[in-house]
């Protein structure tokens, strides 16, 4: 019940749909299925199959994985729960669930949860899929370790094994993002949903990468009542409501409160500043409410004016020209792995955006050589290059701005990139893909860097665009450590600017 009981909007939608068609065979087009499928894909290339429960969704995932790969071995984990139908029960590594129903569906291998060594040994080229929950709910609330998940993703790619994420308990906003897998910065090949999707109305879904859709030909799989119009009308409204930023921010606030903190999230619609109130008024009012402000906005000028007028610390969370909090996390990651910052060469290859500006300024302050390679016309702004050059004169570092990515990557200790179209440039996506195609960080550039180079990306990443999958998911990548360090860097920053917390 992700939205609770007696939700007026859901009651109205259900009553209205009950006056119309309840069900049509899946032979016919169903516009509600199309709408829900698009919302569940959430901008990614997933195709949806609709059913009535989580167990049915997992049965579909098991069948799809075996048929797509031509292999039968599926790895699941102790204390998992995937359902009580025959295949889902066989995937569930609990004897209490399986007792009395043997023989089970063969070729399921059960491994200890969060155990790296067993994954290395068991996940081989004979494996069709790894199926797991990112937070187990049987025998406690047990989250998956990030390093363990990273290893599974790596091994799946190496062995051409599909990754199935069971999101039946965690999906549809329950962890502060639409799906729990987003927190781990991964994209499964297949994932399954139910429970929260219908807010009490029976509905389940299996989503698979578009490339897998052709595997299920007519007659391969189906559900008589799956995706019926009553269920889809509710699912459509549930996903629409939950996938609003303000709703998910509310979930994240509750998580912070449970950890002993308190957060107030204000967007442009919920502050007078968004209605034309002078910044100085907002600054003075907020100074009486809270102990610190982090602002994500467009112009640096707004951040500077807010900081000038407020009597409490103001942190620049993100602007069009700067992303300083991310750079703190990046430098922390580099220092943890390389043991130093000064004297290293960092090559940023891609759009000369706020990340490029922040690397220029931050790197030049700590004595790091920074090279930016961008297509002509997409270089960093001149004013920030000048600041970096002045810093470099004092720190002894070197600043280079190039249009040649190969030359930029030469002898680099760190290779970094960012998405090609962001911060208002999304409409230029196709044009930028053409202009930036030679600036992808891939093996062509990686061989130019030092053998022990480090790859960073602030995420989200588009594999196959600014970086190839083998680089971002390979042994040189530290993106998950980098993502984790955003938390630790911000804690350190708050202590620095707000005193001993």
In this structure, the answer to whether residues 342 and 468 fall within a common structural domain is yes
Say if residue 56 is exposed, middle or buried (CB neighbours under 10 Å; 0-12, 13-18, 19+): buried
Model pLDDT for residues 310-319, shown as the tens digit of each residue: 999 999 999 9
Active site residue 444: no
Task: Classify residue 265: in a domain, yes or no.
Answer: no
Classify 135 as helix, strand or coil: strand
Model pLDDT for residues 230-261, shown as the tens digit of each residue: 999 999 999 988 887 667 767 766 655 654 56
Q: Indicate the residue among 251, 286, 310 that finishes a domain.
A: 251
- Spatial strand order of the sheet with 190-193 comes to 46-51, 204-209, 190-193, 162-166, 127-132, 73-77, 108-111
Cα–Cα distances (Å) from 375 to 235, 442, 448, in that order, read 44, 17, 19
In this structure, the answer to whether residues 141 and 211 fall within a common structural domain is yes
Q: Average of pLDDT values for 333-357?
A: 97
Active site residue 51: no
| pTM (predicted TM-score) | 0.57
In this structure, the answer to whether residues 407 and 358 fall within a common structural domain is yes
The domain that holds 158 is classified in CATH as: 3.40.640.10
The answer, yes or no, to whether the previous bond of 460 is cis (omega within 30 of 0) is yes
Checking phi first, is residue 5 left (phi over 0); if not, alpha (psi -120 to 50) or beta?
beta
Kindly name the residue from 51, 156, 325, 458 that is annotated as catalytic. 458
What are the beta bridge partners of residue 347? 371, 415
Active site residue 237: no
Kindly name the residue from 323, 357, 432, 457 that is annotated as catalytic. 323
**Distance (Å, rounded) from C-alpha 476 to C-alpha 455?**
6
Q: Evaluate if residue 300 carries a pLDDT over 60.
A: yes
In this structure, the answer to whether residues 395 and 450 fall within a common structural domain is yes
Model pLDDT for residues 162-207, shown as the tens digit of each residue: 999 999 999 998 887 889 998 888 999 999 999 999 989 999 999 9
User: DSSP labels for 165-215?
Assistant: EE-TTTTTTTTSSSSGGGTTT---SEEEE-GGGTTTS--EEEEEEGGGGGG
**Dihedral angle sign, alpha carbons of residues 311, 315, 321, 324:** positive
Q: Average of pLDDT values for 53-81?
A: 97
Task: Classify residue 245: in a domain, yes or no.
Answer: yes
Q: Indicate the residue among 264, 284, 318 that finishes a domain.
A: 318
Pairing of strands 204-209, 190-193: antiparallel
Task: Classify residue 53: in a domain, yes or no.
Answer: yes
**What is residue 271's predicted lDDT score, i.e. its pLDDT?**
65
The band of 472, judged by pLDDT with boundaries at 50, 70 and 90, is: very high
Active site residue 418: yes
Across the chain, mean pLDDT equals 91
Number of structural domains in the chain: 3
What is the domain range of residue 79?
8-251
User: DSSP labels for 221-254?
Assistant: S--SSTT-HHHHHHHHHHHHHHTSHHHHHHHHHH
In this structure, the answer to whether residues 244 and 128 fall within a common structural domain is yes
**What is residue 396's predicted lDDT score, i.e. its pLDDT?**
97
Model pLDDT for residues 381-414, shown as the tens digit of each residue: 999 999 999 999 999 999 999 999 999 999 999 9
Kindly name the residue from 296, 301, 444, 463 that is annotated as catalytic. 296
In this structure, the answer to whether residues 111 and 44 fall within a common structural domain is yes
The H or E element containing residue 345 is strand 345-349
Active site residue 488: no
Model pLDDT for residues 4-48, shown as the tens digit of each residue: 777 888 889 889 988 998 888 877 889 999 999 999 998 889 999
Task: Classify residue 212: in a domain, yes or no.
Answer: yes
In this structure, the answer to whether residues 135 and 239 fall within a common structural domain is yes
Which of 472, 473, 401, 415 is closest to 445 using CA atoms? 415
The band of 263, judged by pLDDT with boundaries at 50, 70 and 90, is: low
**What is residue 82's predicted lDDT score, i.e. its pLDDT?**
97
35 φ, ψ (degrees, to nearest 5): -65, -45
Kindly name the residue from 321, 369, 418, 473 that is annotated as catalytic. 418
353-362, 418-427, 441-450, 474-483 — which is least confidently predicted? Answer: 418-427
In this structure, the answer to whether residues 75 and 95 fall within a common structural domain is yes
Task: Classify residue 497: in a domain, yes or no.
Answer: no
Say if residue 317 is exposed, middle or buried (CB neighbours under 10 Å; 0-12, 13-18, 19+): middle
Kindly name the residue from 82, 174, 457, 486 that is annotated as catalytic. 486
Active site residue 486: yes
The domain that holds 375 is classified in CATH as: 3.40.50.1370
Kindly name the residue from 326, 332, 448, 481 that is annotated as catalytic. 326
The answer, yes or no, to whether the previous bond of 103 is cis (omega within 30 of 0) is yes
């Amino acid at each position: 019940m992700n939205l609770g009981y007696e939700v007026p909007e859901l009651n109205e939608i259900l009553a209205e749909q009950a006056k119309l068609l309840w069900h049509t065979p899946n032979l016919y087009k169903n516009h509600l299925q199309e709408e829900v499928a698009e919302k569940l894909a959430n901008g990614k290339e997933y195709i949806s199959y609709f059913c009535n429960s989580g167990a049915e969704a997992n049965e579909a995932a098991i069948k799809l994985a075996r048929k797509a790969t031509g292999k039968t071995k599926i790895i699941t984990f102790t204390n998992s729960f995937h359902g009580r139908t025959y295949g889902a029960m066989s995937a569930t590594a609990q004897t209490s669930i399986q007792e009395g129903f043997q023989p089970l569906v063969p070729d399921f291998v059960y491994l200890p949860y969060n155990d790296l060594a067993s994954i290395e040994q068991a996940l081989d080229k004979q494996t069709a899929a790894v199926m797991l929950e990112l937070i187990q709910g049987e025998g406690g609330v047990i989250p998956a370790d990030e390093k363990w998940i990273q290893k599974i993703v790596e091994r799946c790619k190496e062995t051409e094994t599909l990754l199935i994420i069971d999101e039946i308990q965690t999906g549809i906003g329950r962890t502060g993002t639409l799906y729990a897998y987003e927190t781990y910065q991964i994209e499964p090949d297949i994932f399954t949903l139910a429970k929260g999707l219908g807010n009490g109305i029976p509905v389940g879904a299996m989503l698979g990468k578009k490339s897998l859709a052709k595997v299920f030909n007519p007659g391969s799989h189906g559900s008589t009542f799956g995706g019926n119009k009553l269920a889809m009308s509710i699912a459509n409204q549930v996903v629409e409501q939950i996938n609003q930023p303000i709703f998910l921010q509310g979930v994240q606030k509750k998580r912070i409160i449970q950890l002993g903190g308190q957060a107030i999230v204000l967007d442009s619609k919920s502050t007078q500043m968004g209605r034309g109130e002078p910044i100085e008024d907002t600054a003075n009012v907020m100074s009486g409410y809270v102990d610190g402000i982090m602002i994500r906005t467009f112009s640096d000028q707004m951040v500077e004016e807010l900081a000038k007028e407020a009597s409490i610390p103001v942190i620049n969370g993100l602007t069009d020209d700067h992303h300083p909090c991310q750079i703190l996390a990046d430098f922390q990651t580099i220092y943890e792995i390389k043991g130093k910052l000064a004297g290293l060469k960092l090559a940023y290859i891609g759009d000369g955006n706020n990340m490029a500006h922040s690397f220029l300024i931050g790197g030049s302050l700590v004595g790091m050589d920074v090279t930016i390679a961008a297509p002509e016309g997409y270089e960093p702004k001149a004013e920030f290059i000048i600041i970096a050059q002045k810093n470099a004169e004092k720190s002894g570092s070197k600043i280079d701005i190039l249009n040649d990515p190969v030359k930029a990557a030469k002898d680099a200790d760190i290779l970094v990139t960012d998405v090609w179209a962001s911060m208002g440039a999304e409409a230029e996506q196709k044009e930028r893909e053409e202009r930036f195609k030679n600036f992808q960080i891939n093996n062509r550039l990686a061989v130019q860097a030092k053998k022990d180079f480090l790859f960073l990306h602030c995420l989200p990443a588009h594999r196959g665009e600014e970086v190839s999958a083998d680089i971002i998911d390979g042994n040189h990548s530290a993106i998950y450590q980098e993502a984790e360090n955003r938390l630790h860097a911000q804690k350190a920053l708050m202590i620095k600017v707000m005193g001993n917390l």
